[in-house]
């Protein structure tokens, strides 16, 4: 695997008053990698991710995303990443095509690019008949797949996915992961948070956050070996059991 570093954090910290949501986390993510970011509810995953994508200012520590500084170069970071939030974040009162045009336009694709990329996206998802329908009318699983496709429409260096498969059925989840692999094969680094431990097995490497701190970071195999566990679920339960805080 190519060892080019695309995300590097050094003692990255976020405090809200007395509360330390994220406590001095340091890690590196390599190009083309699928990096799983695990943790119980309230462990600080989403807060950490928001600092990485430039919509939340760190309290201390350093981080570079695609080589850009999270303090000073947030706008440059934004050009080079894609993001799909926990809340479903396409415009439900716009059609599929209109959403593609909007986000393609915002990320500076040309009209031709929007047209060709949009068409191939729709075709790939098999949404030809729905292309002019409002997004609100789509089933949840399709919306998620569509949101992911739109998040990587502009070929970002890294795509951040915040619990992308919440609430969808196992088959759709499987298809979703196929899309993630395809993106990674195309050189897009994938940074993903998830609740599902079977999904953690699909990642190249995972980190497990407990109470704002990264407790473990390795490949799924490495972790299982180290904690002498059969599955990632066991590893996770072992580490998360000590957690003091939850929702």
When the beta carbons of 114 and 197 are compared against other proteins, the nearer one is 114
The reply on whether position 54 binds other proteins by CB under 8 A is yes
55 binds other proteins (CB under 8 A): yes
> Does position 195 bind other proteins by CB under 8 A?
no
DSSP letter string, the chain: ----EEEEEEEEEEEETTEEEEEEEEEEEETT-EEEEEE-TTSSHHHHHHHHTTSS--SEEEEEETTEETTT-HHHHHHHEEEE-SS--S-TTSBHHHHHHHHHHHTT--HHHHHHHHHHHHHHHT-GGGTTSBGGGS-HHHHHHHHHHHHTTT--SEEEEESTTTT--HHHHHHHHHHHHHHHHTT-EEEEEES-HHHHHHSSEEEEEETTEEEEEE-HHHHHHHTT-SSHHHHHHHHHTT-----
Pick one of 11, 41, 91, 124: the residue that binds other proteins (CB under 8 A): 91
Binding residues among 155-184 for other proteins as defined by CB under 8 A: 160
Instruction: Considering only residues 18 through 37, tell me which ones interact with other proteins, judged by CB under 8 A.
Output: none
Stretch that binds other proteins, among 31-39, 106-114, 137-145, 188-196 (CB under 8 A): 106-114
> How many binding residues for other proteins (CB under 8 A)?
31
Q: Which of 3, 17, 18, 93 binds other proteins (CB under 8 A)?
A: 93
Q: Minimal distance in Å, beta carbon 78 to other proteins?
A: 4
Distance, in Å, from the CA atom of 157 to the CA atom of 61, rounded to the nearest integer, reads: 23
Contact 223, 206 (CB under 8 A): yes
Instruction: Kindly state whether residue 102 participates in binding other proteins, applying the rule CB under 8 A.
Output: yes
In whole angstroms, give the CA distance from residue 179 to residue 101.
21
Scanning 1-9, 55-63, 193-201, 205-213 for contacts with other proteins by CB under 8 A, the matching segment is 55-63
Contact call for residue 148 and other proteins (CB under 8 A): no
Question: Residue from 2, 17, 108, 129 that binds other proteins (CB under 8 A)?
Answer: 108
- Is 35 or 103 the residue whose CB approaches other proteins more closely? 103
CA dihedral sign, ordered 152, 72, 54, 9? positive
Of residues 89 and 172, the one with the C-beta less far from other proteins: 89
By the rule CB under 8 A, 11 interacts with other proteins = no
What are the φ and ψ backbone dihedral angles of 211, each rounded to 5 degrees? 50, 45
Q: Is 98 in the site for other proteins (CB under 8 A)?
A: yes
123-142: contacts with other proteins (CB under 8 A): 134
73 lies in the site for other proteins, by CB under 8 A: no
Residues forming contacts to other proteins in the complex (CB under 8 A) are: 53-57, 74-75, 78-79, 81, 83, 85, 87-94, 98, 101-108, 134, 160
């Amino acid at each position: 695997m190519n060892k080019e570093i695309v995300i590097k954090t050094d003692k990255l910290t976020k405090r809200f008053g007395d509360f330390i949501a994220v406590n001095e986390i340091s890690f590196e993510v390599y190009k083309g990698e699928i990096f799983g970011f695990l943790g119980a509810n309230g462990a600080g995953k989403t807060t950490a991710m928001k600092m990485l994508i430039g919509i939340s200012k760190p309290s201390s520590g350093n981080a570079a995303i695609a080589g850009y500084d999270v303090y000073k170069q947030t706008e440059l970071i934004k050009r080079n990443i894609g993001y799909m939030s926990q809340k479903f974040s396409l415009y439900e009162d716009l059609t599929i095509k209109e959403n593609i045009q909007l986000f393609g336009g915002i990320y500076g694709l040309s009209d031709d690019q929007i047209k060709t990329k949009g068409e191939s996206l729709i075709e790939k998802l098999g949404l030809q008949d729905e292309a002019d329908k409002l997004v609100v009318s789509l089933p949840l699983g399709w919306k998620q797949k569509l949101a992911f496709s739109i998040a990587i429409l502009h070929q970002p260096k890294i795509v951040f996915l915040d619990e992308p498969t919440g609430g969808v059925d196992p088959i759709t989840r499987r298809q979703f992961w196929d899309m993630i692999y395809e993106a990674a094969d195309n050189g897009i680094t994938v940074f993903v948070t998830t609740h599902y431990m079977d999904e953690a097995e699909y990642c190249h490497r995972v980190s497990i956050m407990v109470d704002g701190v990264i407790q473990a970071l390795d490949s799924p195999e490495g972790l299982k070996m180290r904690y002498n566990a059969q599955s990632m679920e066991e590893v996770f339960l072992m580490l998360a059991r000590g957690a003091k805080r939850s929702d």
